[in-house]
Amino acid sequence: MDSLVTTEWLAGEMGASDLRIVDCTKHLAGTGRNALAEYEAGHIPGAVFMDLADLTDTSNPVDNMLPPAEKFASRMQSLGLGDGSRIVLYDDSAVKTSARAWFMLKMFGAHDVALLDGGIAKWKAESRPLAQGKEQLRHRHFTAWQDDSSVRTKADVLANLHSKAEQVVDARGAARWSGADPDPRPGIAVGHIPGSLNVPFTDLYNADGTFKDKAGLKAAFESAGVDLGKPVTTNCGSGITASVLLFALSLLGKEDTALYDGSWSEWGADADTPKATA
């Protein structure tokens, strides 16, 4: 299974015993939207709902940090996602939250994970079938396994300011990155990590919500000054849209990538971290 699948492909695979479809929609606070209610009102048939708001480390004061492996595995088992499943993720979120689910699943050991190109919006636009209510799948075993090699801490990013071993690429919009716009979270400074480059995650999509082709993705990164031959660490507000950048880089065959999990919600809250504005 490719890591990016079409609605046509998914329609043809519906009902396969090893296929698991997951709605990973999470909306930002203040949108007035309820992801679970929207899922119950209409989802791709067979899809289960992954509550990303619950898949965090509640012991960490920083917003939206990655959960412990055991917690993640437990949640996946209860959704019917197990070892050997082919997992297709989609969302209906302005911040493309299925990429965050993709990053977590890969980090915690799932092997066959894909995003639905265009999400449920494209599925609906093509008048494909929808189901209502909740889906119940039997529990399956999900082995708790964790590879932290693709995660960076604040200490790592601070050290990288001097070593410059990795390029830091910020997925937020240009006005947030430059410091022209305030951060939506209270008590968070404006600006960006010094030396970081800016590739707004929205630059990676076509108008219909599908990903740009490889040439378009490559151009989006290179026009921002990213050297695709060197390692990249991504960040954003809280690690969600930074995952979109990681997914797009994976489509380009790039594997020397990592996520700064604390992102700006951690960096911008620390009075001692250096900040840059442009």
pLDDT in tens, 19-51: 999 999 999 988 999 999 999 999 999 999 999
* Catalytic residue IDs: 236
Residue range(s) of every CATH 3.40.250.10 domain in the chain: 4-146, 149-267
Strands (E), the chain: 4-5, 19-23, 48-49, 86-90, 113-116, 151-152, 167-170, 197-198, 232-235, 257-260
Handedness of CA 6, 34, 265, 153 (dihedral sign): negative
**Res 63: pLDDT:** 86
Q: What is the pLDDT of residues 174-184, one digit of tens each?
A: 999 999 999 99
CA atoms of 100 and 113, how far apart (whole Å)? 12
Q: What is the pLDDT of residues 146-155, one digit of tens each?
A: 889 999 999 9
User: Is pLDDT at 278 greater than 90 in this prediction?
Assistant: no
User: Is pLDDT at 138 greater than 90 in this prediction?
Assistant: no
Q: What is the pLDDT of residues 73-86, one digit of tens each?
A: 999 999 999 999 99
For the 4-146 domain, the top CATH level (class) is alpha beta
Which helix (H) or strand (E) is 244 found in, with range?
helix 241-251
Could you tell me the fold of the domain covering 149-267? Oxidized Rhodanese; domain 1 (3.40.250)
Residue whose token pair is 């716009």? 181
User: Is pLDDT at 8 greater than 90 in this prediction?
Assistant: yes
CB 201, CB 245: distance < 8 Å: yes
Q: What is the pLDDT of residues 99-132, one digit of tens each?
A: 999 999 999 999 899 999 999 999 999 999 999 9
Q: Is the pTM of this model over 0.95?
A: yes
CA atoms of 264 and 235, how far apart (whole Å)? 7
